[in-house]
Amino acid sequence: MPTLVYLEDHEGELVKGSLGVLTKAAQLGGDVAAVVCGSGVQGLAAQAGRYGAARVYVADDPALVAPLPQPRVDVLEALVRERGFDTVLFGASVLATDVAAGLAARLPAGLNWDLVDLEVRDGKLVGRRPALQDSVYADVGWKGEPRLALVRSGTFEPVEGGGEAEVEELAVQTQDFSRQAVMLERAHAESEGPSIEDADVIVAGGRGLGSPDKFGLLEELAQALGGAVAATRAVVDAGWYPYATQVGQTGKTVSPKLYFACGISGAIQHKVGMQASGTIVAINKDPNAPIFEYADVGVVGDLHQIVPKLTELVRERRT
Amino acid sequence: MRLAVCVKEVPEASARTRIDPGTLRLDRGGAATLNPFDAHALEEALRIKERTGEGEVVAVMMAPLPAADSLRKALAIGADRAVHVADDALAGSDLVATARTLAKAVEREEPDLILLGQQGGDSDGAVLWSALADLLRLPVVSQAASLELAEGKVAVKRQTEYGYDLIEAPLPCIVAVSDAINEPRYPSLKGIMGAKKKPHETLNAADLGLGADEIGEAGSRTEVYALADPPSRGDSVRIEGDGAAAEKVVEYLTERKLI
């Protein structure tokens, strides 16, 4: 089973999610190679060896400077076709998801996404995919090769094995249409605001707050609990709260001991960023909100009434 | 300016959705609606048309015939025309088979801009735009938190794990919008009445020149083997009403020494 793992990099580091997928691929066995795409990324190849890649392909080209998917599809297509990989694995991210889907169409190949496990069963690769708001798990597979898989972020932990990879540089050729989208400004990690990744308690708010000023209610509760305030993508995009506090697929992945989800419906993009939390308390007025499917305590009610009362009770206990 | 919006139908949020144990496909027999994420793509198309003062918005859907109601909703909201690709042979299409079908349907419209929502409300898939872009050989930008159109180009603020990027692409191109990009309008009574008179074309696979081996199960390379229950999170507690909710939460957390 020659397997290729797509490794994503950001600011000179390989992304943890893709290293986790590489670790898993090495555990599953067979020939495991990895590919790094970018400009000035040769130095990252050695790192990939430590996580289980026997060989690392490096596509280093100015066309790959910006983290855009289409030139990467060109690189992966050539690699898969020329070297005969039968399996290509991705750790889900904004970039990797777009690369995987473009590659599926290009080859063509079957793509299974949002996988939370991978195993080889009777010589066959089988993925496990939650469906219907994670209320059911499906065992999914592929008809024919190559097989493409996107693994849900945070699923596999990277483990260093200490090996050394053979590094091979690739000649990069990209198609005209792949170079048409250009990046004018690139995001930088924002450092302002409190770090939510280290907090034991997180009080998070979503669109159900109703207006940006209502974050004040959450700040008071967070302060009483000695925790931090977080937000969903919807309210961050709307400018209600800083990006640095965003939890979810395109934000931070957190695992506090206690997580309050206030006015958060709990769509899958949010869930993947906080499902590892110890205890989840959800407050939402919609009894059908998906968040209740995975909350330990689900409160169907008005957060504008309940949160201030909670703050008051917590303060009373602390004094 | 022609704007194509790809839409799909998904089960109502309140409906009890299930996967048919026989076919291992989503049971689409229950109450269904226009994918809420697609409403944001449609809204963005309507706003572009309103801003530029000219243009046509075409809603394109691949779905079984009964989904025509959801497409009519897109017309009621404001789309000028609807194209519905319906064919029993499409059942069981995976990502690539679906993208092939939509690529053919969208290509016929020769759109300047193709918009999609951020994900399927049923499959949680966020993959279609990139597959579609590859088949149509068009530039694609996803996760658009905002979109500006000027001088034959789109400028998109894309949200990633690291913040916001600014990406520019020439028309024609494909943009997948986030659900934070706008607040979709509701259909007006006038819109609902008017929708019945708007062009609503229904096509099958042969109309699009799609071969039987390109679509449906035959054209798909993924499969579902079995279904299982998710791992349990343990017992969860449900508290209804505002009355003593806060007290009950504090009691629960105190018992577990969490506060």
Residues A108/A26, Cβ–Cβ less than 8 Å: no
Residue A301 covered by a domain:
yes
Alpha helices, DSSP H, located in B117-169: 128-136
Confidence at B233, pLDDT banded by 50, 70, 90 = low
Residue A262 covered by a domain:
yes
Rounded average pLDDT over B253-258: 91
User: Do residues A172 and A289 share a domain?
Assistant: no
Mean pLDDT, chain A, rounded, equals 92
Secondary structure (H, E, C), A244-308:
HHEECCCCECCCCCEEEEECCCCCHHHHHHHCCCCEEEEEECCCCCHHHHCCCEEEECCHHHHHH
In chain A, how many H helices and how many E strands? Answer: 8, 18
Please name which of A96, A160, A98, A213 lies closest in space to residue B139, comparing C-alpha atoms: A98
Residue B64 covered by a domain:
yes
pLDDT digits (tens, 9 = 90+) for B143-190: 999 999 999 999 999 988 888 999 999 999 999 999 889 999 999 999
Considering only CB atoms, A136 lies closest to which of B14, B221, B227, namely: B227
User: Do residues A19 and A95 share a domain?
Assistant: yes
User: Do residues A162 and A239 share a domain?
Assistant: no
Whether residue A137 has pLDDT greater than 70: yes
In a 10 Å sphere around its CB, with 0-12 CB exposed, 13-18 middle and 19+ buried, how is residue B106 labelled? buried
Residues 76-135 of A with CB under 8 A from B: 93-95, 97-106, 108-114, 126, 130-132, 134-135
User: Do residues A90 and A148 share a domain?
Assistant: yes
CB contact (8 A) between residue B94 and residue A110:
yes
Alpha helices, DSSP H, located in B79-188: 95-107, 128-136
Enclosing domain of residue B125: 2-208
The domain spanning residue A65 has which CATH number? 3.40.50.620
Residue A248 CA to residue A266 CA, distance in Å, equals 10
Q: Which of A116, A149, A179 is the last residue of a domain?
A: A179
The domain spanning residue B146 has which CATH number? 3.40.50.620
Residue A259 covered by a domain:
yes
Residue B100 covered by a domain:
yes
Residue A231 covered by a domain:
yes
Task: Return the pLDDT at A178.
Answer: 98
Task: Return the pLDDT at A191.
Answer: 46
Residues B78/B90, Cβ–Cβ less than 8 Å: no
* Total number of domains constituting chain B: 1
| Residues of chain A neighbouring B225 (CB-CB closer than 8 A) | 126, 138-141
Tokens standing for residue B179: 């659900």
Residue B254 covered by a domain:
no
User: Do residues A145 and A43 share a domain?
Assistant: yes
Q: Which of A110, A144, A179 is the last residue of a domain?
A: A179
Confidence at A267, pLDDT banded by 50, 70, 90 = confident
User: Do residues A82 and A132 share a domain?
Assistant: yes
pLDDT digits (tens, 9 = 90+) for A161-208: 878 899 999 999 999 999 999 999 988 655 444 578 888 999 999 999
In chain B, how many H helices and how many E strands? Answer: 6, 13
Q: Which of A179, A209, A232 is the last residue of a domain?
A: A179
Rounded average pLDDT over A123-135: 86
Q: CB pairs below 8 Å between A and B: how many? A: 262
Residue A17 covered by a domain:
yes
Residue B85 covered by a domain:
yes
Residue A223 covered by a domain:
yes
Confidence at B22, pLDDT banded by 50, 70, 90 = confident
Task: Return the pLDDT at B14.
Answer: 64
Whether residue A265 has pLDDT greater than 50: yes
Whether residue B29 has pLDDT greater than 80: no
CB contact (8 A) between residue A250 and residue B143:
yes
Name the residue of chain B whose CA is nearest to A286's CA.
B14
Considering only CB atoms, B242 lies closest to which of A111, A288, A306, namely: A306
Residue A193 covered by a domain:
no
Residues 56-75 of A with CB under 8 A from B: 67-70, 73
Is B163 at the interface with chain A, CB within 8 A? Answer: yes
Upstream peptide bond of B172 is cis (omega within 30 degrees of 0): yes
Neighbour count for residue A61 (Cβ, 10 Å): 18
Enclosing domain of residue A300: 201-318
pLDDT digits (tens, 9 = 90+) for B57-107: 999 999 999 999 999 999 999 999 999 999 999 999 999 999 999 999 999
pLDDT digits (tens, 9 = 90+) for A24-79: 999 998 899 999 999 999 999 888 999 999 999 999 999 999 999 999 999 999 99
Check the CA dihedral B137-B141-B147-B149 and report its sign. negative
Q: Strand A117-121: give its sheet, edge to edge.
A: A117-121, A124-131, A136-142, B222-228
DSSP SS3 for A28: helix
User: Do residues A124 and A13 share a domain?
Assistant: yes
Task: Return the pLDDT at A161.
Answer: 82
Amino acid making up residue B143: Q
User: Do residues A9 and A111 share a domain?
Assistant: yes
Residue B18 covered by a domain:
yes
| Residues of chain A neighbouring B131 (CB-CB closer than 8 A) | 101-102, 104-105
Residue B37 covered by a domain:
yes
* Total number of domains constituting chain A: 2
pLDDT digits (tens, 9 = 90+) for A116-128: 999 999 989 999 9
User: Do residues A159 and A212 share a domain?
Assistant: no
User: Do residues A129 and A210 share a domain?
Assistant: no
Mean pLDDT, chain B, rounded, equals 93
User: Do residues A171 and A219 share a domain?
Assistant: no
- To the nearest whole Å, the CA of B227 is away from the closest chain A CA by 4
Residue A276 covered by a domain:
yes
Task: Return the pLDDT at B198.
Answer: 97
